[in-house]
Amino acid sequence: MDTVRQLIDLAKAPSGEMHHFDWHRVEESIGLALPEDYKSIVDGTVDGFFQGVVRVGRPGGDGYVETDFLGYYAHLLDDLRVSRGEGNAVPYPIFPEVGGLLPWGIGPGMTPIFWRTDDVDPNNWTVVVADSTFENWCAFAGGVAEFLTVLVNGRTTGTSLDAFVDFRAPAFVPMADALAAEHELYANESVRQGDDRVRDPFWRMMRVKIKPLVDDFINLKLLLGEHSVVVPPIEWDSIESALGAQLPGDYKKFAEFYGPGDLCGLRIATPQGAGDYSLADLVVRKYREAVARERSDLRMPIFPEPEGAIPWGESVAGHTIFWVPVGGGPESWIVGSSTSYGNAGVVTTYQGCSFSTFVLKQIDGGLLSPIDISGQDSRFHSRLTGMC
């Protein structure tokens, strides 16, 4: 295809070791034929980033079988359906609905880029881009090759991606080179107390920013009220020594005053809890779950890996809630959530949200990308052994 050949030449995208997918079986996995330009791009280039912001999805990525087109995208579509079910506006049908959104690529912060599958001829499908909150949607009047060609030509697409494009960057960077550059940067940077740099490639890609956060425990306590349950004291020195990490001050205040429990669709684990409400058990369980699955090269790091996410809770819908431990100390750790901890899945980072700020916003519905809380009780229910 001339358009694809022009794109590859313009981007100087290397072909590397040619690998042709069994497109018949890939297409059978979703019951749809796929656009020819997309298949030619995937077959004709190595995995990588166009203009530093768009990674074209490939069947079998992130540890899934090579004949499964959806793979990671199945989690993303599930989350999109849940968001729509909670009343959030999604202006298009969602695959497998007729004409539904079908992801083909990933942009900054793991945000998906879709086709609108509203034509019987897949070569007429157009591109749709959402921002990371799924609140702002933009349509591009063209297919994958045209969309990428606009990017590498230094022009704007009219979508939310334009804000992240660095037109001084190479038009195409192979994934292997991007990872090698990040690892070299990580190795060369000094590690010191108070360092305010984000080193891990995944958190860089998620655009994690380091800045002082607000301790909202007082406001959270005013909202939740006094607590009648006697909460056992916590020996933080021994807890943090065993964990190998210090924890944020607002979380420690919450654990000391309320202990483990359920709140507005969140299961909050603390050192005094048992089973699913034990912080130590949660950290170990989530690590074992993550390493038991095959993980991709560009994956969310998990504790105790460097800058690895440290879990502190779960949602009623199965999200893992965690801290992103980057920066100079725990008071700068923002909160994140994932539908599939440590592997493929939708990861959201809540910029500017400390533990207490996140919980406050969860209660009042002020999160931009809310975890499923509709109909959940905003009162705190203790889960100390023997309490209810």
pLDDT value of position 120 = 94
Lowest mean pLDDT among 175-179, 301-305, 331-335: 175-179
Residue 298 has phi, psi (to 5 degrees) of -95, 90
Average pLDDT rounded to a whole number, residues 152-170 = 79
- Mean pLDDT for the chain? 82
What pLDDT, in 10s, does the model give residues 90-146? 899 999 999 999 999 988 767 789 999 999 999 999 999 987 667 788 899 999 999
Report the distance separating Cα 213 and Cα 211, nearest Å: 6
**Angle between helices 217-224 and 355-364 in degrees, nearest 10:** 40
Domain 201-382 has CATH 3.40.1580: yes
345's tokens: 């899945």
pLDDT value of position 314 = 93
Does 281 score more than 50 pLDDT?
yes
Q: What percent of the chain has pLDDT over 70?
A: 84
pLDDT value of position 367 = 65
Lowest mean pLDDT among 41-55, 232-246, 301-315, 360-374: 360-374
pLDDT value of position 211 = 80
Q: Give the residue among 41, 165, 167 at the shortest CA–CA distance from 107.
A: 165
Q: Is 249 in contact with 215 (CB distance < 8 Å)? A: yes
pLDDT value of position 32 = 95
> Is the pLDDT higher at 342 or at 266?
266
What pLDDT, in 10s, does the model give residues 182-239? 555 444 443 333 445 677 778 877 778 778 899 999 999 998 888 778 888 999 998 9
User: What distances in angstroms separate CA 255 from CA 116, 155, 312, 320, one per listed residue?
Assistant: 46, 51, 11, 18
Q: What percent of the chain has pLDDT over 90?
A: 35
Q: Is 155 in contact with 142 (CB distance < 8 Å)? A: no
Average pLDDT rounded to a whole number, residues 327-345 = 78
> Is the pLDDT higher at 20 or at 67?
67
Q: How many Å is the Cα radius of gyration of the chain?
A: 22
Average pLDDT rounded to a whole number, residues 342-358 = 80
Report the distance separating Cα 148 and Cα 231, nearest Å: 57
Report the distance separating Cα 347 and Cα 55, nearest Å: 16
- Give the pLDDT band (50/70/90) at residue 293: low
What pLDDT, in 10s, does the model give residues 7-16? 888 777 777 5
Task: Assess whether the previous peptide bond of 311 is cis (omega < 30° from 0).
Answer: no
Does 177 score more than 70 pLDDT?
no
pLDDT value of position 157 = 84
Taking the CB of residue 161, how many other CB atoms lie within 10 A of it? 22
pLDDT value of position 295 = 61
pLDDT value of position 193 = 35
Q: Is 263 in contact with 382 (CB distance < 8 Å)? A: no
b/e 43-82 (16+ beta carbons within 10 angstroms → b): ebbbbbbbbbbbbbbbbbbbebeebbbbbbbbbbbebbee
Question: Domain map of the chain by residue range?
Answer: 2-176, 201-382
Q: Is 176 in contact with 46 (CB distance < 8 Å)? A: yes
Q: What is the DSSP code (8-state) at residue 263?
A: E
pLDDT value of position 341 = 63
Report the distance separating Cα 285 and Cα 275, nearest Å: 10
pLDDT value of position 386 = 46
What pLDDT, in 10s, does the model give residues 186-197? 444 433 334 456
pLDDT value of position 212 = 82
- Highest average pLDDT, of 56-65, 165-174, 231-240, comes from 231-240
User: What distances in angstroms separate CA 289 from CA 65, 172, 284, 310, 320, one per listed residue?
Assistant: 19, 34, 9, 14, 11
